Amino acid sequence: GIPFTTGIWLRVALLVAGWLICVAWVMRYARQVRQDPSRSIVADKQDENIAHFLGGKRQQDLAFTGTRKLILVIFALAFAVMIYGVAVLGWWMGQISGVFLAAAIITGLLARMSEEELTSTFIDGARDLLGVALIIGIARGIVVVMDKGMITHTILHSAEGLVSGLSSIVFINVMYWLEVVLSFLVPSSSGLAVLTMPIMAPLADFARVDRDLVVTTYQAASGIVNLVTPTSAVVMGGLAIARVPYVRYLKWVAPLLLMLTVLICLILSLGALL
């Protein structure tokens, strides 16, 4: 079996503690909104969202009919087919798009929508994500310019000199913040690993820090940045579909990010001491 080293135990502890903090934060917010709907970050958009998602009807006016149950089954099956296709058949964007396009057409037929209603609904949905696509494209363009102009490599070279000669605790914490900065510039987790690990891992030997702790630091930094980075299609697409403004989301998630950051720095420091 795989030996459970200190680094693995720390990663498990960080994962469990981080998950518990996130769940507690979300449940606390849910209880607050349930008790007082005005505390929702989108409370001022209630009427607008009811008109958008429910067609102006109140939730209690929408019966959970057999047709709607069947539509939810089709929705779940689309995800099942997508997962199987990606994991087993090697599908990617073209095939995934085809699955959801077919699911959308089947849903329209089951709901007995007219041709005009189906096409207008589809266009409205695409319109909601058009702004997200532009934002992601612009953000990725900045990343491409920095990469092709060797700006990212220059920052990494400067970071190499910054962490050299530091004590183990200071080294691991400075490295965490460097990985956070670089995660914004290199949104791909695999790309970030290829870029930073060949440099940071050998430097950890001089600071007497285990290399598995360096990997934990990279994973933690990449994970926390992926919660807010505007280059993430998951973050921006989810916010667009839920009609939550990005700035409001940042204000709401900021205290959670602070708690997770404190937790990460404490566990990394503990790992450096051990």
Is pLDDT above 80 for 155? no
On whether the CB atoms of residues 260 and 26 are closer than 8 A, the answer is no
Position with higher pLDDT, 81 vs 146: 81
Q: What is the pLDDT of residues 214-226, one digit of tens each?
A: 888 888 998 899 8
| Residue 222 tokens, joined | 């990449």
Nearest to 155 by CA among 170, 143, 140: 143
Query: What is the pLDDT confidence band of residue 1, given thresholds at 50, 70 and 90?
Result: very low
On whether the CB atoms of residues 213 and 9 are closer than 8 A, the answer is no
Distances (CA, A) of 134 to 138, 236, 248: 6, 11, 19
Cβ of 73: how many Cβ atoms within 10 Å?
11
**Of the ranges 36-45, 133-142, 207-216, which is most confident?**
36-45
Nearest to 263 by CA among 223, 227, 220: 220
Q: What is the pLDDT of residues 168-185, one digit of tens each?
A: 888 888 889 988 988 887
Is pLDDT above 60 for 233? yes
On whether the CB atoms of residues 209 and 163 are closer than 8 A, the answer is no
pLDDT at 10: 78
On whether the CB atoms of residues 52 and 121 are closer than 8 A, the answer is no
On whether the CB atoms of residues 194 and 211 are closer than 8 A, the answer is no
Q: What is the pLDDT of residues 192-216, one digit of tens each?
A: 787 777 777 777 777 788 888 888 8
Distances (CA, A) of 124 to 2, 52, 54, 137, 221: 51, 10, 14, 20, 36
DSSP state of 83: H
Task: State CA 76 to chain mean position distance.
Answer: 21
Pairs from 93-100 (Cβ < 8 Å, separation ≥ 24): none
In the chain, the percentage of residues whose pLDDT exceeds 90 is 23
Q: Can you say whether residue 69 is alpha, beta or left, with left for phi > 0 and alpha for psi between -120 and 50 degrees?
A: alpha
List the alpha helices (DSSP H) in the chain: 6-35, 46-54, 66-84, 93-110, 115-148, 151-163, 168-185, 189-206, 211-225, 233-242, 246-273
Distances (CA, A) of 226 to 46, 152, 156, 181, 240: 28, 18, 20, 12, 16
Question: Which pTM does this prediction carry?
Answer: 0.70
**Domain residue spans of the chain:** 6-49+127-273
Helix, strand or coil, per DSSP, at residue 165: coil
Cβ of 141: how many Cβ atoms within 10 Å?
10
Is pLDDT above 60 for 147? yes
